[in-house]
A = this chain, B = another copy of it.
Amino acid sequence: MTTPGLRERKKARTRWAIQEHALRLFAEQGYEQTTVDQIAAAADISPSTFFRYFKTKEDVVFADEYDPLIVALITSAPAGLSPLEAIRHAVVSQLGDVTDEDQATILARARMYENFNGQTEVFTAPIAIRMGREPDDPMVHAFCGGVIGALLPAIYGWAEHDGEEKLSVAITRALDALAEGVRGA
């Protein structure tokens, strides 16, 4: 078992170059506005090579080799922490020393979130009132985003099982799970 050969190193470099340029372009121009051809040109490879390294354009954003780190951090968080605290611990730990490239990745991912932004207003507007805050307060967005994030997989799971149980049951369970995870059961 020798040190990774020249081929492997070159492959890694190519992969890194693609991601690097793709994320930069996404940040500069937006995800939809950036074409695979542009990325390929920037990384000085052919478009087909792009697809050799990443199955789809989306994969550039979501292929992340740092994910295992988060997994490890959550797993190894102190046992007394609630799930929410464990995640906070892990995320904040990892993001403490975020490099420039990581920033680009994060930004690119976040940009893709724009697509989903539209429907949050349904919740943010009335909730802002209830919380006594402005409708564009980050805390309102965070909370409403969290609720929606909890609802979506519930609805999706319900839809997949085609109504075996009532939707309201699934939703109630999801929001309970959110509360439980936050509180620490």
Contacts and interface: CB of A to CB of B under 8 A. Distances in A.
B74 A131 contact: no
A75 B185 CA distance: 29
A71 interface: yes
A57 interface: no
A29 to B, nearest CB: 14
Contacts of A171: 88, 91-92, 95
Given A106-B155, A156-B114, A145 B138 contact: no
Interface of A: 58, 62, 64, 67, 70-72, 74-75, 77, 83-84, 86-88, 91-92, 95-96, 98, 103, 106-107, 109-111, 113-123, 125-127, 129-131, 138-143, 145-159, 163, 167-168, 170-183, 185
29 contacts: A67-B121, A70-B126, A74-B123, A84-B175, A84-B179, A87-B123, A88-B172, A98-B167, A106-B159, A107-B155, A107-B159, A110-B156, A110-B159, A113-B155, A116-B116, A116-B152, A117-B156, A138-B170, A138-B173, A142-B174, A143-B182, A145-B150, A145-B151, A146-B146, A146-B149, A149-B150, A149-B152, A179-B182, A182-B182
